[in-house]
Amino acid sequence: MSLLIDRGGPIADPWVRVQRDEPLPDGPAIVDPDRLAGLDHAPLGVHLPNTADAAALASEFSRLALISIDFPAFNDGRGFSIARRLRELGYTGRLRAAGPVIADQFAYLLECGFDEVEIPDALAARQPAEHWLAAIARAGHAYQRGRTGARASILDARSADHG
């Protein structure tokens, strides 16, 4: 069992990640993208690899309550870009980052459009929920331009420093 956290703290996870050959549960199910075709289930979520083309999923937005994006390592930032692109394409459901991202990335995940983060047990033991919530307050600049508008991006701040 992993820790699921949003900007308010730990939350319950009603979703079941269903492997390729497993039957779907009665409740919320997260499936792989190749299983979406012809699937009639609600609520429905999908788990994307960090190599996914966000635009290829746009036709499915209306039936997806959750999109989970895989982060295989904390230093692989492709999931940030996928989340931002999904939001630009009009996805309004829940976005979940899944994998060993670190607490220092939490504010940036939220700014790129994520609603929640699923943290593996081993990482949650080293970085409990309090670390994640404190990280939001510590972030001084936005990760990407244009998503929140509230803070300067890292690139804007760097440009200003080099005047």
Convert the pLDDT of each residue in 41-78 to its tens digit: 889 999 999 999 999 999 999 999 999 999 998 778 88
pLDDT tens for each residue of 20-46: 889 999 999 999 998 998 888 889 999
Asked if 128 and 10 count as a contact pair (C-beta separation under 8 A), the reply is no
Calculated CA dihedral for residues 152, 130, 118, 116, nearest 10 degrees = -50
Each domain of the chain, given as residue ranges in start order, spans 3-161
Whole-model pTM: value is 0.84
Q: Of 3, 31, 4, 5, which Cα lies nearest the Cα of 16?
A: 31
